[in-house]
């Protein structure tokens, strides 16, 4: 433990800080005392991340899930304040050495100690999994040998069950030597991944060595995805148990209940701590336990913009005072040949990022010295692993920031993307050449939409404005001001005369698309409005909200027509079918729901995604439905039978948006990995 530094708080909530235990990318960890003098570990989110609302909301929900785990085999979460200026959580301080420390000091565990340890760890994982959490970094250093038994620390308050392993900053969550194959490959990560890691932890405890240790990172990965060690020194039943944990297919691994049943009760009913570890466990020099990890936020957010003055309905922007970069500029947007994309790979944040690319291209990485060897080895190994995952051919467009929304122009020739770098980008949908970069927003752009005739592009931003752009020249036509908080979604009416926007201020606003005049403010949602969509005839507007509902509005009168209830979490996206008979909604509850657009009746719940669903879109003929999720996939559904037809995998991290080309031959998807991907589809 280190002493507090200048600038460290003296108190967090009711807890008095007494020292620093560590710090990470997301927060700082302190040892503290409760008012009654009990030691606790307090983790505080860094101020630069506290401004992100989605991060706060996820943090609050997952703290509640962590509370349910209990402290029998974990470090109990005892307090938290997600609404503080710098959100924090407190967990019980668990004295004792880590399993890593114990094995390093005393060597491998004997058979009886190993069985007792295994039973305790399996029970702990079962408790974590039963609350919908996945550890994601189950390793010897995250196991404390406490006086009353092994305790699991740092379990992942970061993603719901089965979420992708990739964080928004681009790093893999977990420690490589103890990861599962699907975790390394950026696949769906659930309880079976922790079971794989359990096998590796038990092998370490039994042998004193990491089972997949190797000289290079690439070799470690290849061992994990190919052939595990034999472990001939172990009793047959323990060897079989560990090898069962190491099965390559997640659905073939045993559950925690299966594993407990395999362990003989008679052989695990010994007193704790085992004789060989008693003095170490009860020593006066314990290793500190940390509370569960904080969730990884989106690309480091900026503080919310300063409060704006009185809302103004319309601000012309002539002449534009922001640079507009057109394709063909020497040295910046020169065309390059289009080529099929390689399997997606991951570049550690420590490596220098690839040079800026704005075309469909092969990724490159520029690093030097020993770091280059490690990165190249990992990249090569990941590429081999990802090649094993079949996916349709795809083209990849790379950007330097998260892409929040993607949409085709009405004629299909242009692709527009909304960026976390405050810009809107336009690309030639056929060649991948960047045509323009529209600059003017002062914060993240969350949504883009073309007018039906393709002449105007609208964008919605965290800077609380909607901006209109000339789609041909890139000139900014107007900045529509009126919302008092982040603007999340924008949509044109089918005739192009009206523009709708949804905001964190809880309102939907309608604007005259020609003059910029605010026509109406639709109030009804008590929470943020994430998505808006017009019906094909323009008479109805749908809005999806953080109040877990979809609401339907009469666009002529502004009257609320219906409130569609059924989702168990935020509604992120809404879309009407081309004939207007169906309405689809996507939610943080991991489902897509279909509704009768006329009656409001829920017709179907489409299940398959393993994390938040952020975007949904119908194919032009209405036969297919596409959905994009934080599980890293785009899924295709038969809109008639409601069956899942397939999935498109390639994004490393969250998939934020999905759109069909006007002729239905392609699906475009965007992700927080800084890519837009184009996939061929057959809608016949």
pLDDT at residue number 369: 33
Those residues with Cβ within 8 angstroms of residue 24's Cβ, 6 or more apart along the chain or in another chain: 294
Model pLDDT for residues 204-255, shown as the tens digit of each residue: 999 999 999 876 667 788 889 887 898 989 999 999 999 999 999 999 999 9
Residue 278, pLDDT score:
78
Top mean-pLDDT range of 162-166, 171-175, 343-347? 171-175
In the predicted model, what is the mean pLDDT of residues 330-336? 25
Q: What is the pTM of this model?
A: 0.51
Task: Write out the E strands in 24-109.
Answer: 27-33, 39-45, 77-81, 88-92
Comparing 323 with 442, the larger pLDDT belongs to: 442
Spatial distance between the Cα atoms of 616 and 575, rounded to a whole number of angstroms? 7
Q: Where are the alpha helices (DSSP H) in 82-230?
A: 99-106, 111-130, 181-184, 191-207, 217-225
Tell whether residue 302 is among the known ligand binding residues: no
* pLDDT of 184 strictly over 90: no
Largest Cα–Cα separation, the chain: 82
Q: What percent of the chain has pLDDT over 90?
A: 52
Q: Is 400 a catalytic residue?
A: no
Q: What is the DSSP letter of 100?
A: H
DSSP H stretches of helix in 345-444: 369-387
Task: Among 104-108, 200-204, 261-265, 396-400, name the most confident range.
Answer: 200-204
Collapsed DSSP state (helix, strand, coil) of residue 375: helix
pLDDT band, very low/low/confident/very high, at 46 (cuts 50, 70, 90)? confident
- pLDDT, residue 541, reads 98
Tokens 């560590």 found at: 22
Tell which residue, 401, 318, 405, 395, has the closest CA to residue 648.
395
Q: Which of 137, 162, 194, 505 is catalytic?
A: 137
Average pLDDT of span 38-54: 79
Q: Where are the alpha helices (DSSP H) in 562-614?
A: none
Kindly list the domain boundaries of the chain, sorted by start residue. 1-93, 96-158+173-266, 395-680
Please state, in angstroms and rounded to a whole number, the distance separating the CA atoms of residues 461 and 483. Answer: 10
Handedness of CA 122, 125, 129, 135 (dihedral sign): negative
Burial class (CB in 10 A: 0-12, 13-18, 19+), 515: exposed
Identify the CATH class of 395-680: mainly beta
User: What's the rounded Cα separation, in Å, for the pair 357 and 398?
Assistant: 6
DSSP symbols for 108-146: S--HHHHHHHHHHHHHHHHHHHHTT---S--SGGGEEEE
**CB 457 within 8 Å of CB 416:** yes
Phi/psi for 94 (5° steps) reads: -110, 105
Q: Per-residue pLDDT for 523 more than 70?
A: yes
Q: Would the pLDDT of 337 be above 90?
A: no
Q: In whole numbers, what is the pLDDT of the chain averaged over residues?
A: 79
Which residues are CB-contacts of 130 (< 8 A; sequence separation ≥ 6)? Answer: none
- With a cut of 70, say whether residue 593 has pLDDT above it: yes
- Cα(75)–Cα(584) distance, integer angstroms: 41
Beta bridge partners of 434: 427
Q: How far apart are CA 70 and CA 349, in angstroms?
A: 34
Instruction: Give the range among 148-157, 244-253, 507-516, 544-553 with minimum mean pLDDT.
Output: 148-157
> What confidence tier does 157 reach under pLDDT thresholds 50, 70, 90?
very low
pLDDT at 268: 54
How far, in Å, CA of 62 to CA of 73, rounded? 18
Q: Which two tokens stand for residue 309?
A: 């003055």
CA atoms within 13 A on the CB side of 15: 27
- pLDDT-based confidence at 299, cuts 50/70/90? very low
Instruction: Copy the structure tokens of residue 628.
Output: 């994009």
Closest to 594 measured CA to CA, from 550, 546, 560, 629: 550
Question: CA angle 537-538-542, nearest 5°?
Answer: 115
pLDDT in tens, 12-25: 999 999 998 876 55
Closest Cα partner for 452 from 417, 416, 493?
493
Residue 205 to residue 111: CA distance in whole angstroms: 10
Q: Which residue has the higher pLDDT, 321 or 177?
A: 177
H or E element at residue 280: helix 278-281
Top-level class of domain 96-158+173-266: mainly alpha
Is residue 584 within 8 A of residue 593, CB to CB? The reply is yes
Distance between CA atoms of 163 and 281, rounded to whole angstroms?
Answer: 35
CA-based nearest residue to 407, from 660, 614, 625: 660
Does residue 457 surpass a pLDDT of 90?
yes
The CATH number for 1-93, chosen from 3.30.420.40, 3.40.366.10, 3.30.200.20, 3.90.400.10, is 3.30.200.20
Residue 263 has pLDDT above 90, yes or no: no
pLDDT for residue 4 is more than 90: no
Asked if 478 and 435 count as a contact pair (C-beta separation under 8 A), the reply is no
Does the pLDDT value for residue 374 go beyond 80? no
DSSP class per residue in 230-256 = --TTS-HHHHHHHHHHT-SSGGGSPPH
Could you tell me if 487 and 476 are in contact, meaning their C-beta atoms sit under 8 angstroms apart?
A: no
* Burial 349-366, CB ≥16 within 10 A → b, else e: eebeebeebbbbbebebe
Residue 364 confidence (pLDDT) above 60 = no
Distance CA 516, CA 318 (A): 14
The predicted pLDDT at position 219 comes to 77
Give the pLDDT of residue 287.
40
Average pLDDT, stretch 541-545? 98
The percentage of residues in the chain with a pLDDT greater than 70, rounded to a whole number, is 77
Contact 306, 69 (CB under 8 A): no
**What's the pLDDT score for residue 388?**
32
Q: pLDDT tens digit string along 425-454? A: 999 998 889 999 999 999 999 999 999 999
> Rounded to an integer, what distance in angstroms lies between the CA atom of residue 657 and that of residue 676?
9
pLDDT of residue 215: 65
pLDDT at 516 over 90: yes
pLDDT of residue 330: 28
Residue 258 backbone phi and psi in degrees, to 5? -60, -40
Asked if 456 and 477 count as a contact pair (C-beta separation under 8 A), the reply is yes
């Amino acid at each position: 433990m280190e002493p507090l530094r200048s600038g460290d708080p003296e108190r967090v909530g009711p807890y008095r800080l007494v020292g620093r235990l560590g710090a990470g990318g997301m927060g700082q960890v302190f040892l503290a005392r409760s008012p009654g003098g009990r030691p606790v570990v307090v983790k505080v989110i860094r101020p630069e991340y506290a401004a992100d609302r989605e991060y706060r909301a996820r943090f609050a929900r997952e703290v509640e899930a962590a509370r349910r785990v209990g402290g029998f085999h974990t470090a109990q979460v005892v307090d938290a304040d997600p609404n503080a200026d710098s959100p924090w959580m407190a967990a019980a301080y668990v004295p004792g050495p880590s399993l890593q420390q114990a094995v390093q000091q005393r060597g491998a565990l004997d058979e009886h100690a190993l069985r007792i340890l295994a039973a305790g760890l399996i029970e702990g994982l079962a408790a974590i999994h039963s609350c919908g959490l996945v550890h994601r970094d189950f390793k010897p250093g995250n196991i404390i040998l406490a006086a009353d038994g092994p305790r699991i620390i740092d379990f992942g308050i970061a993603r719901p069950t089965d979420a992708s392993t990739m964080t928004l900053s681009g790093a893999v969550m977990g420690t490589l030597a103890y990861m599962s194959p699907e975790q390394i490959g950026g696949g769906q990560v659930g309880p079976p991944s922790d079971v794989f890691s359990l096998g590796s932890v038990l092998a370490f405890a039994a042998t004193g060595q990491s089972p997949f240790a190797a000289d290079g990172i690439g070799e470690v990965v290849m061992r994990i995805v190919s052939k595990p060690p034999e472990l001939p020194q172990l009793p047959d039943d323990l060897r079989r148990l560990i090898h069962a944990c190491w099965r390559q297919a997640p659905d073939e691994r045993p559950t925690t209940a299966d594993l407990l049943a395999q362990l003989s009760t008679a052989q695990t009913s010994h007193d704790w701590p085992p004789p060989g570890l008693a003095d170490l466990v009860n020593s006066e020099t314990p290793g500190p336990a940390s509370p569960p990890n904080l969730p990884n936020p989106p690309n480091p957010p900026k503080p919310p913009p300063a409060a704006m003055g009185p809302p103004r309905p319309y601000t012309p922007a002539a002449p534009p005072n922001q640079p507009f970069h057109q394709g063909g500029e020497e040295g910046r947007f020169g065309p390059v040949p289009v080529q099929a994309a390689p399997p997606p790979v991951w570049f550690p944040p420590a490596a220098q990022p690839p040079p800026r690319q704005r075309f469909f291209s092969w990724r490159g990485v520029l690093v030097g010295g020993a770091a280059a060897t490690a990165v190249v080895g990992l990249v090569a190994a990941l590429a081999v692993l990802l090649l094993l995952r079949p996916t349709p051919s795809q083209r990849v467009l790379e950007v330097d920031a998260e892409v929040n929304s993607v949409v085709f122009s009405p004629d299909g020739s242009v692709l527009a993307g909304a960026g976390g770098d405050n810009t809107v980008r336009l690309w030639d949908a056929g060649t991948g050449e960047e045509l323009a970069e529209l600059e003017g927003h002062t914060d993240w752009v969350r949504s883009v939409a073309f007018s039906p005739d393709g002449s105007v592009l609208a964008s919605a931003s965290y800077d609380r404005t909607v901006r209109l752009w000339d789609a041909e020249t890139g000139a900014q036509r107007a900045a529509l001001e009126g919302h008092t908080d982040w603007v999340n979604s924008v949509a044109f009416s089918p005739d192009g005369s009206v523009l709708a926007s949804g905001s964190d201020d809880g309102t939907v606003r309608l604007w005259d698309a020609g003059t910029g005049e605010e026509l109406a403010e639709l109030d009804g949602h008590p929470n943020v409005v994430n998505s808006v969509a017009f019906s094909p005839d323009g008479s109805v507007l749908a809005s999806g909200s953080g109040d877990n509902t979809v609401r339907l509005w009469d666009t002529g009168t502004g009257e609320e027509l219906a409130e569609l209830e059924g989702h168990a979490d935020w509604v992120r996206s809404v879309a009407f079918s081309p004939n207007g008979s169906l309405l689809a909604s996507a939610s943080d509850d991991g489902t897509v729901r279909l509704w009768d657009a006329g009656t409001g009746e829920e017709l179907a719940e489409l299940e398959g995604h393993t994390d938040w669903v952020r975007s949904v879109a119908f194919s032009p003929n209405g036969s297919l439905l596409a959905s994009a999720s934080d599980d890293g996939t785009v899924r295709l559904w038969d809109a008639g039978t409601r069956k899942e037809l397939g999935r498109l995998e390639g994004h490393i991290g969250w998939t934020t948006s999905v759109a069909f080309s006007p002729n239905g031959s392609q699906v475009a998807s965007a992700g927080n990995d800084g890519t837009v991907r184009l996939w061929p589809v057959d809608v016949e």
